[in-house]
Amino acid sequence: MNEVKYLIVGGGVAGTTAAETIRATDKEGSIAIVSDEPYRFYSRILLSKPNFFLEKIPFDQIWLKDEAWYRQNQISLMLGKEATKLDPKGRVVSLNDGSAWHYEKLLLAVGACARRWSVPGAEKKGVLSLRTLDDAKEVISRVKNIKQAILIGSGFISFEMADMLVMAGVDTTLVILESYYWEPVLDEASGRMIEKVLIEHGVKILHKSEVFQIEGEENVTGVVLKDGTKLPCQLIVAGIGVECPLGWIKEAGVIVNRGILADEYLQTNFADIYTAGDCAEFNDLVLGERVLLGNWVNAQVHGRTAAANMVGGHQPSKMVSFYTTQGMGLAIAFVGNVRVTPDREVVVRGTLEAGSYGRLILHNGKLVGATLLNLTREMGMLAKIIERGADLTAKKPFLADLKNDLSMI
């Protein structure tokens, strides 16, 4: 049996930030990170960015910690290993290499995996999701030699991939189930605004369409859609969402839903087991609900918070989460909780004609989130308003007019 004081499962931004934060306080306690990938900490957020693909950002920019950093901080890194079993009473994690690790505090920062695409032929070469550095390497090597590509799904990944493929001169078709881009997360006006820039840049969009089968021998050569349409392609990137790989965690008795359930201190139902990042379904004090968020800053803040609590602190995770992207002259930003449930109300700010279009989402009169097209300059202010939690019922007409300065709220 190996002994380690702090065991971290997951070597991404949540796990690595946690290790760094633990070491800043506890100079002596042993720390070990287990990662199922063969690489040390890298910038997962960079993987889908066009400038990275087209090598305008040097490839080595991907590495966020060098090997010496792990050594200097006495953090042992076990790469290419999977945790297979957890015994929360005995405080033991077993790995697929047969080793067992006894811990004092455990952090589950296992992230999310790309959802499996179950279309016949999805195992062919050139059919990819974009979640790991190996996926990105495959796309980089393929994009130089292809004529046509197909993107599946409407979201951040497809938008960024479309931008990259257009820049690379690849004929790109977007195949989406929905009747407009990003339905139902966005309203139709926002979706059409995104589609307009995609189409202007030469991307073809097929709505209410679904792939029936993928063609090719070893490598993908095309797809057949459910309506019988055949499209040639040498690359498919499926941006159809993520899911959390929680089997061994659930079996151990850790309570899970879509993610690992945790309170605002990122503590699970076991006092010495914490969770952080994309896999943590935690009690968000700002939003007043339990949420599962998949973005870089959230994972970073989670890593810091979980670590602070693992070394004996009592600090809640409190931030308004956000994610942005930009391409083809359009800046997209989501802040807070952008889900529009029946009990929520949307105030539209700006107009399509003005080129800036925001949707402010209110719950019981309080701002809980916003989707912003060409309005990122207001994101910081909106985050502050969400955090403040003031009743804006009487301010709705004010919010709707782009000319009004939000700092006056």
Partner 1 sequence: MEAAPIRKVKRVIVDRNLCIGAGSCVVAAPTVFELNGENKAVIKQQGGVKNSGPAEREVLEDQAIPYETLLAAAQSCPTKAIIIVDEQGTQIYP
Give every CB contact of residue 158 below 8 A, 6+ residues apart in sequence: 151, 152, 174, 176, 237, 239
Q: How far is CA 190 from the centre of its chain?
A: 21
When asked if residue 374 is in the footprint of partner 1 (CB under 8 A), the reply is: yes
CA distance 13 to 226: 39
Structure tokens at 145: 């030699």
| Least distance to partner 1, CB of residue 165, Å | 18
Q: Which of 64/122 has CB closer to partner 1?
A: 64
Residue 185 phi/psi, 5-degree rounding, is -65, -45
Of the candidate residues 181, 296, 334, 357, the single one contacting partner 1 (CB under 8 A): 296
Name the token pair of 236: 């498919």
Residue type at 39? Y
Q: Does 380 bind partner 1 (CB under 8 A)?
A: yes
Binding residues for partner 1, rule CB under 8 A, total 28
Closer residue to partner 1 (CB): 166 or 379: 379
| 137 three-state secondary structure | helix
Sole window of 56-64, 116-124, 146-154, 309-317 interacting with partner 1 (rule: CB under 8 A): 56-64
Residue 269 interacts with partner 1 (CB under 8 A)? no
Taking CB under 8 A as the rule, does residue 167 contact partner 1? no
Instruction: Give the shortest CB-322-to-partner 1 separation in angstroms.
Output: 6
Report residue 79 as tokens: 């790469």
Of 223 and 379, which CB lies nearer to partner 1 in the complex structure?
A: 379
325 is an interface residue for partner 1 by CB under 8 A: yes
Interface segment toward partner 1; rule CB under 8 A; list 112-120, 168-176, 216-224, 295-303: 295-303
Paired residues of 204 in beta bridges: 173
| Residue 297 within binding range of partner 1, rule CB under 8 A | yes
Nearest CB to partner 1, comparing residues 331 and 400: 331
Q: Minimum distance from CB of 45 to partner 1 (Å)?
A: 5
Site for partner 1 in 33-52 (CB under 8 A): 43-46, 49, 51
Q: Kindly tell me which residue out of 279, 308, 333, 370 binds partner 1, with binding defined by CB under 8 A.
A: 333
Q: Which is nearer to partner 1, 267 or 376 (CB)?
A: 376
Mind giving me the DSSP string for 297-339? Answer: HHHHHHHHHHHHHHTT---------EEEEEETTEEEEEEE---
346 Cβ contact partners less than 8 Å away, ≥ 6 residues apart: 187, 340, 359, 360, 361, 362
Counting contacts by CB under 8 A, is residue 301 touching partner 1? Answer: yes
- Output helix, strand, coil percentages for the chain, rounded to the nearest 5: 30, 30, 40
- Segment interacting with partner 1, rule: CB under 8 A, options 234-242, 259-267, 294-302, 343-351: 294-302
Residue among 64 and 92 whose Cβ is closer to partner 1:
64
Between 195 and 378, CB nearer to partner 1 = 378
> Before 397, cis peptide (omega within 30)?
no
C-alpha–C-alpha distance, residues 52 and 115, integer Å: 23
Minimum distance of partner 1 from residue 128's CB (angstroms) = 21
Q: Is 56 in the site for partner 1 (CB under 8 A)?
A: yes
- Asked if residue 379 binds partner 1 (CB under 8 A), the reply is yes
Half-sphere exposure of 328 (CA within 13 A, CB side): 23
From 30-38, 54-62, 129-137, 223-231, span contacting partner 1 (CB under 8 A): 54-62
CA angle 146, 152, 157 (to 5 degrees): 90
Decide if 176 contacts 203 (C-beta within 8 A).
Answer: no
> In sequence order, which ranges of 4-95 are alpha helices (DSSP H)?
13-25, 50-53, 67-72
Adjacent-strand bridge partners of 42: 63
CA 239 from centre of chain: 11
Asked whether position 234 contacts partner 1 by CB under 8 A, the answer is no
CA gap 103, 397 in Å, rounded: 56
Judged by CB under 8 A, the residue of 331, 338, 402, 409 near partner 1 is 331
Question: Quick check: 374 and 324 in contact, CB under 8 A?
Answer: no
| Residue number, 273 or 287, with CB nearest to partner 1 | 287
**Distance of closest approach, residue 134 Cβ to partner 1, in angstroms:** 18
Is the CB of residue 118 less than 8 Å from the CB of residue 108?
A: no
Q: Which of 324, 348, 387, 400 binds partner 1 (CB under 8 A)?
A: 324
Interface contacts to partner 1, rule CB under 8 A: 13, 43-46, 49, 51, 56-57, 61, 64, 296-297, 300-301, 319, 322, 324-326, 331, 333, 374-377, 379-380
